[in-house]
Amino acid sequence: MKRNILLLCFLLSQAAGFAQRVDEGTVFPTRQTPVHDPVLIRQDSLYYLFCTGFGITVYSSKDLLSWRREKPVFHRAPEWAVKAIPGYRGHTWAPDISYHNGTYYLFYSVSAFGKNTSCIGVATNKTLDATSKDFKWVDHGKVIQSVPGRDLWNAIDPNLIMDEQGAPWLVFGSFWQGIKLVRLNADLTAVASPEEWYTVASRARNPILPDTVAGDGAIEGPFIFRKDHYYYLFVSFDYCCRGEKSTYKVMVGRSTQVQGPYVDRDGVPMNLSGGSLVIEGNKEWNGVGHSATVSFDGVDYLVFHGYDAADGGRSKLRMEKISWVNGWPVVGK
């Protein structure tokens, strides 16, 4: 127990140390933009980046080369989340942004660090343009909650995917028994009834650990991208949030249906610890991960964060074009 408390204190101190105060209007070049868990979308001529931060951090860009800090999504912590998650005061994790039926849907995570005391919420907006008269974030509250002692999954890191029939699904999860997929209702604010749940990826976990401990089997940050005849499931293996000691890397598998099974290049199912390497850390970037995959003007991009070895392991924005070789994503080559 003492070891777990010391580890938690270390990780929290690392996270605080790598956080940077950034004023609204500050502009950064891409690889110097301080982000964690980024996701990207375009409205008209502007790109909008959402990422982990107090109230959910937002940046905008005209060219994908420089990024301007905008106002956060929430100016105060959602009241429902403060009541649901002990200790939550507004630092909100791993958002996901989508456009559906004329509305922007922003899923987000609230959690106690290192525990599966977690919830996924959703907010909507008619526009991302803060100068528009229609700009207003409307929070719809909790979509999914995980409870220690009841659930061996963690309700964080959401990503919305529509299947070929237009049905909405939410993929999410971190550690424990891995990455889950659940069907949502038509308005995207709750789990559909009757419920449909799937485990689409996981890694071996020490069975003697108590349910309340994340433990080993590090896997999180799922994102599903549909291309041609396949759904591609990107996940992050190993450890984030440790600065220069981070070991994050991005893995992938694919399936012909959104529910899986997802398999890697060698045919190993991702729910049996499978996954093919997409990108990993090197001497310049200690670890890289929590990716999103987007497409603009016929070009596919992997958007993720990396821990900058030249800046003490601070987390920065990374974007790489994706090449598809024999039906598999290749970046950085």
> pLDDT band at residue 113, thresholds of 50, 70 and 90?
confident
Which two structure tokens, joined as six digits, stand for 255?
């399936």
* Residues labelled catalytic: 37, 220
Higher pLDDT, 217 or 283: 283
Q: Using the predicted structure, report yes or no on whether residue 17 has a pLDDT greater than 70.
A: no
pLDDT tier, 285 (very low <50, low <70, confident <90, very high otherwise): very high
Under a CB-based contact definition with an 8 Å cutoff, are residues 306 and 318 in contact? Answer: yes
Q: Which of 142, 148, 60 is nearest to 112 (CA)?
A: 148
Query: What is the per-residue pLDDT across 145-174, written as a single tens digit (0 to 9) for each?
Result: 999 889 989 999 999 999 999 999 999 999
CATH level 2 (architecture), domain 2-331: 5 Propeller (2.115)
For residue 90, pLDDT over 70 is answered with yes
Specify which residues 180 forms β-bridges with: 172, 199
Q: What is the pLDDT of residue 213?
A: 64
The answer to whether residue 177 scores a pLDDT higher than 60 is yes
Q: Do the strands 53-54 and 179-183 form a parallel or antiparallel pair, or are they unpaired?
A: unpaired
Helix, strand, coil in percent for the chain, rounding step 5: 10, 45, 45
* Per-residue pLDDT tens over the stretch 36-46: 999 999 999 99
Percent share of the chain, pLDDT over 70? 92
Instruction: Say whether 103 sits in a helix, a strand or coil.
Output: strand
The string of pLDDT tens digits covering residues 301-325 is 999 999 999 999 999 999 999 999 9
Note the pLDDT of residue 212.
Answer: 64
User: Which DSSP letter does residue 205 get?
Assistant: -
Instruction: Return the pLDDT at 112.
Output: 87
Q: Using 50, 70 and 90 to split pLDDT, how confident is the model at 20?
A: low
* pLDDT tens, position by position, 38-89: 999 999 999 999 999 999 999 999 999 999 999 999 999 999 999 999 999 9
pTM of the model: 0.92
Mean of pLDDT values over 262-273: 97
Phi/psi for 108 (5° steps) reads -150, 165
pLDDT bracket for residue 12 (50, 70, 90)? very low
CB 286 within 8 A of CB 327: no
For residues 78 and 90, what is the distance between their CA atoms, to the nearest angstrom? 7
pLDDT given for residue 115 in this prediction: 85
- CA 174 – CA 180 distance, rounded (Å): 9
pLDDT given at position 48: 98
